[in-house]
Structure 1
Amino acid sequence: MIFSKNIAVTALSTLVLTAFHANPAWALDFKTAYEAALQHDATILAERAAAQAAQERLPQALSQRRPSLSLSAGQNRNHLESQTANMLGQRSVSERYYDSNNAALQLRQPLYRPAILAQIKQARAQVQDADAVLDVNENDLLERVAQAYFDALLGQVQLDLASAQKTAFAAQLQSAQKGFAAGVGMRTDVDEAQARMDLAHAQVLQAQQALDLARRRLALLLGVPVAQLVQLADLDTQRFAPSAPVPTSAEQWIALAEESSPQLQALRARLRAAQAEVDKAQAGHKPTLDVVATVSRSDSDSVTSINTVYKQKYVGVQLNVPLYSGGYVSSTVRQALAEVQRMQQTLEAAQRDLSNQVYEQFSAMTEGVLRIAALEQAVRSAQQALLSSQKSLQAGARTTVDVLNAEQQLTVAQRDLAQARYGYVLAHLKLQMLAGQERMANVDAVNRWLKTQG
């Protein structure tokens, strides 16, 4: 099993490392990144092992109500020494050595054991808890991959914008220097262009550092060297069409999350397990009833049965009635009831927190649609403003500072638009996960918004 998993990790990592070099137009998409992380992330691998271990609780509990068969056998070498007094009062000692053997085969079938029924119910709840926790952790991994993936995309956008702005400022600086040297420009234009150029250079360095950190986080999740992380597929603005979430009511999403959230499913399973623990504890006050069948054979069992063989068979019922255990059972019942109350309050707190999270992501999607539309218009307006400023500068109606301001305004609008788009995608993913929607269908939906060909 471990060997096959290692093969899967190697194969997926090889795909990530070599596909781009084999085809420069190919870009790593979000789905492939998530699948690679699923095979590599240590937290997920640990949770899978924990879920697999928890699965064994149920067969262990079920085995308690099935018949049990046991065999016991023994062989002994006995030394018998006896002392007796004769008629004259003298003691005589005699010694005897003999072998004794015994064997017994016993079958026991529980008929009435309330603790076993409670244990089975508890085991089922624990298995459901482990499965839900694995689901929660896979959702968490999806969120981490998405955050790193789109942070890397945003970092690339910011670096590209900062570099383009630096290039534009450099051109403006060169133009201002030529104008000043020719006696048709002002020193303030040169100084302003130089200041903007220096600031743009610092912003390029900052954007490069942010991009490097984002790519490193993503590479660690995917299990590939950061130096060989391939190009990422970006949003296809022609296919990316943000829309308000459906259902269109936050209350409906909250109700859906309360029903299907894996986090709440895990907590509800723990509550059922705690309630089953109460039943187990209370079973300590109840009698148990078993069917017992035994076949035994013994020879030379005692000094009075040397060289005698006994064979015995019997079938019967065995009743065990607890009378007093020093208060232990009552204490375990109180402890279990307190744990049930703790789980109830934990579940209530989680429901409230989930409601806030759902509303936050629902609002982020709803407002994101409006914000993206507004920023798209802002970019168009900034582009037109830049074009007008450049033409006015040529006509002498505007200064270099006006063009620099227009350049910066366009860069800010483009950066904010990219942030709004990626923020909408993240909000979409988080809302779907909080509501317990099918994870891979959610990944596929996001992946369709990307362009994987260069």
Structure 2
Amino acid sequence: MAKRTKLAALAVALGLAVSASVAKAETLADAMIGAYNNSGLLEQNRAVLRAADEDVAQAVAALRPVISWSADATRQFGTTRSATTNNLILPTVSNTASASLIAELTIFDNGQGKLAIETAKEAVLGTRQSLVGIEQQVLLAAVEAFLEVRRAIENVALRENNVRLITQELRAARERFEVGEVTRTDTSLAEARLAAARSQLAAAQGALTIAREQYLAIVGRLPGALEPLRSLPNLPGSVESAKAIAVREHPQVKSVQHQVAAAELSILRAEAAMKPTVRLAGRLNVTEGLNTDRFTRGGSVGVEAGGPIYQGGRLTSLVRQAMANRDSSRGQLHQVIDQVSQNVGNAYAQLRIAQASLESTERQVRAATVAFRGVREEAALGARTTLDVLNAEQELLNARSARISAQVDESIAAYRVLSTLGRLTATDLRLNVQQYDPISYYNLVKDGPIQKSKQGQQLDRVLKSLGKN
């Protein structure tokens, strides 16, 4: 009874240990969350987006009054001669100080200012889509790093098992040699295979170390126990439907679409620059003599209008250049659409290849397992040699290794398909992360707040939270 109690307690302890290890195993989602939170590439491109947001603020500021000041202190000296001084040459010195306050406001510019704002907004929208594309790259890299570690771990386990099996075969061969059932050649073959298996194990362990370092670089920490994938992502049933989704939703396509829109607006801006503008200008001046009691104070307010007459063909060249850039953006859009569609087709082809390979390796493993068991039993009866057993074991090892690679390749290919659709994002995958909100910073700066305003103070707090101050 006491022995049964001890065995039961041991079983419970082992069960709890297994449960704890399973509970602590990292999932693929954990790896992607780590990559999302620790990616320097994402941080870099978020800063690029914030810089693009500031272009909108600068375009808005161009339509507001511009107030500036200037000041100077002047010392004038020289000599003078006149009849009042009996034609004597006398030195003259005067010290003056002046200050000016200047204000300017563009009243009418044929829409150049508003077009500049709209162009900057299109650039912001395009940059946001580029950031989504970077996010996809980061998450796909996390997927590949996770699965490569899984591949390496399983290969190491497979190689370790192979070393154990060949060690057993070598032990059996030596026992049979001692009783005269086999020759020295059989034991030498087993020894050679064992040495090769140990070499392959060392290579697999090295590959695991490399995969762990890659995981550390992408996810931000070394991998622990990794949980196998439970399922693959849901994908469209046909390549054509997937291509239609990618053309509509892929961030690269959307980014170039905004570039085309910005190029269209640039043409209108270039045409507006050929027309006159009207500005309201005001100035206040104060000038005082430092060594006299003389001073002047005054100001001016006026409306100024002006426009180009002849600039050597520069303005018309700018219009033509804007049109050429628009045509270039349109051509780029066509290329991107074609490339995205091709990438979808290629990703589906790789997925089908991996699935077919997995199905074949499953059959290969089943057949090799049956063959290995049969050869080993026949060798025990003396109908097979040690070399036959070693060859059958090697066939089984190769089949299992191929199955591991096919399983990993299928998973990677599935997530690559998801990436080509534009759906490998934290939002689409519902990752438990604090997602970066590109709109919040834009809303703070789009109206060009000054530092001392309430909105400017709020912006300062945001920048400090980002670690930029």
The separation in 1 between residues aligned to 2:274 and 2:390, in whole angstroms, is 85
Shift of 1:214: 1.1
SS at match of 2:82: strand
**2:454 matched residue in structure 1:** none
The separation in 2 between residues aligned to 1:256 and 1:265, in whole angstroms, is 12
SS at match of 1:247: coil
Q: Tell me, yes or no, if structure 1 residue 156 matches structure 2 residue 153.
A: yes
Residues 171, 100 of structure 1: CA spacing in aligned structure 2 closer, same or farther, 3 A cutoff? closer
Shift of 1:393: 2.5
Shift of 1:295: 5.8
Which of 341, 353, 365 is residue 339 of structure 2 equivalent to?
Answer: 353
Q: Tell me, yes or no, if structure 1 residue 121 matches structure 2 residue 118.
A: yes
Residues 104, 155 of structure 1: CA spacing in aligned structure 2 closer, same or farther, 3 A cutoff? closer
| Deviation sequence 1:176-195 (CA, Å, 0-9, x none) | 22212211224443343233
Structure 2 stretches lacking a partner, 5+ long: 1-16, 432-469
The separation in 1 between residues aligned to 2:295 and 2:224, in whole angstroms, is 88
The separation in 1 between residues aligned to 2:113 and 2:423, in whole angstroms, is 35
| Deviation sequence 1:359-384 (CA, Å, 0-9, x none) | 11112333434433443333233323
**2:216 matched residue in structure 1:** 219
The separation in 2 between residues aligned to 1:184 and 1:104, in whole angstroms, is 111
Shift of 1:442: 5.6
The separation in 2 between residues aligned to 1:442 and 1:198, in whole angstroms, is 49
Please give the residue correspondences for 1:302-451 in structure 2 after superposition, counting only pairs within 5 Å. 311-312=298-299, 314=301, 317-437=303-423, 439-440=425-426, 443=429
Shift of 1:425: 1.5
Letter in 1 for 2:347: Q
Shift of 1:354: 1.9
**2:201 matched residue in structure 1:** 204
The separation in 2 between residues aligned to 1:181 and 1:172, in whole angstroms, is 14
The separation in 2 between residues aligned to 1:298 and 1:219, in whole angstroms, is 66
The answer to whether the Cα contact below 8 Å between 1:80 and 1:97 also exists between their aligned partners in 2 is no
SS at match of 1:183: coil
Shift of 1:122: 2.0
The separation in 1 between residues aligned to 2:26 and 2:296, in whole angstroms, is 80
Which of 171, 174, 180 is residue 171 of structure 2 equivalent to?
Answer: 174
Shift of 1:154: 0.7
| Deviation sequence 1:231-283 (CA, Å, 0-9, x none) | 231315xx43x58x642111211121122111222233333333333333333
**1:275 matched residue in structure 2:** 264
Which of 274, 278, 282 is residue 294 of structure 1 equivalent to?
Answer: 282
Residues 55, 232 of structure 1: CA spacing in aligned structure 2 closer, same or farther, 3 A cutoff? farther
The separation in 2 between residues aligned to 1:270 and 1:201, in whole angstroms, is 57
Q: Provide the identity percentage.
A: 24
Worse-matched range after superposition: 148-157 or 75-84: 75-84
Q: Tell me, yes or no, if structure 1 residue 144 matches structure 2 residue 141.
A: yes
**1:255 matched residue in structure 2:** 244
**2:48 matched residue in structure 1:** 50
Structure 1 stretches lacking a partner, 5+ long: 1-19, 446-454
Residues 134, 40 of structure 1: CA spacing in aligned structure 2 closer, same or farther, 3 A cutoff? same
The answer to whether the Cα contact below 8 Å between 2:102 and 2:282 also exists between their aligned partners in 1 is yes
The separation in 2 between residues aligned to 1:172 and 1:295, in whole angstroms, is 100
**1:91 matched residue in structure 2:** 87
The separation in 2 between residues aligned to 1:308 and 1:213, in whole angstroms, is 80
The separation in 1 between residues aligned to 2:95 and 2:354, in whole angstroms, is 93
Worse-matched range after superposition: 385-394 or 123-132: 385-394
Q: Tell me, yes or no, if structure 1 residue 264 matches structure 2 residue 253.
A: yes
The answer to whether the Cα contact below 8 Å between 2:215 and 2:223 also exists between their aligned partners in 1 is no
Letter in 1 for 2:278: L
The separation in 1 between residues aligned to 2:109 and 2:427, in whole angstroms, is 47
Residues 99, 152 of structure 1: CA spacing in aligned structure 2 closer, same or farther, 3 A cutoff? closer
The answer to whether the Cα contact below 8 Å between 1:379 and 1:410 also exists between their aligned partners in 2 is yes
Letter in 2 for 1:91: N
Residues 191, 295 of structure 1: CA spacing in aligned structure 2 closer, same or farther, 3 A cutoff? closer
Residues 354, 97 of structure 1: CA spacing in aligned structure 2 closer, same or farther, 3 A cutoff? closer
The separation in 1 between residues aligned to 2:379 and 2:96, in whole angstroms, is 119
Report the TM-score, using the length of structure 1 for normalisation: 0.78
**1:41 matched residue in structure 2:** 39
**1:9 matched residue in structure 2:** none
SS at match of 1:326: coil
Which of 107, 114, 119 is residue 110 of structure 1 equivalent to?
Answer: 107
SS at match of 1:252: helix
Letter in 2 for 1:283: A
The separation in 2 between residues aligned to 1:100 and 1:186, in whole angstroms, is 113
The answer to whether the Cα contact below 8 Å between 2:271 and 2:319 also exists between their aligned partners in 1 is yes
Shift of 1:340: 3.1
The answer to whether the Cα contact below 8 Å between 2:31 and 2:143 also exists between their aligned partners in 1 is no
The separation in 2 between residues aligned to 1:219 and 1:300, in whole angstroms, is 70
The separation in 2 between residues aligned to 1:165 and 1:438, in whole angstroms, is 38
Matched pairs, number: 408
Residues 69, 409 of structure 1: CA spacing in aligned structure 2 closer, same or farther, 3 A cutoff? same
**1:5 matched residue in structure 2:** none
> Considering only aligned residues, what root-mean-square deviation do their CA atoms show, in Å?
3.2
| Deviation sequence 1:129-179 (CA, Å, 0-9, x none) | 322222222211222222222111111111111121121112112212221
| Deviation sequence 1:267-303 (CA, Å, 0-9, x none) | 333333333333333333122123x1536355679xx
The separation in 1 between residues aligned to 2:379 and 2:101, in whole angstroms, is 108
Shift of 1:57: 1.0
The separation in 2 between residues aligned to 1:299 and 1:380, in whole angstroms, is 100
| Deviation sequence 1:39-80 (CA, Å, 0-9, x none) | 333322222221222211111112222333344566666679
The answer to whether the Cα contact below 8 Å between 2:278 and 2:304 also exists between their aligned partners in 1 is yes
| Deviation sequence 1:4-28 (CA, Å, 0-9, x none) | xxxxxxxxxxxxxxxx9xx655223
Letter in 2 for 1:44: L
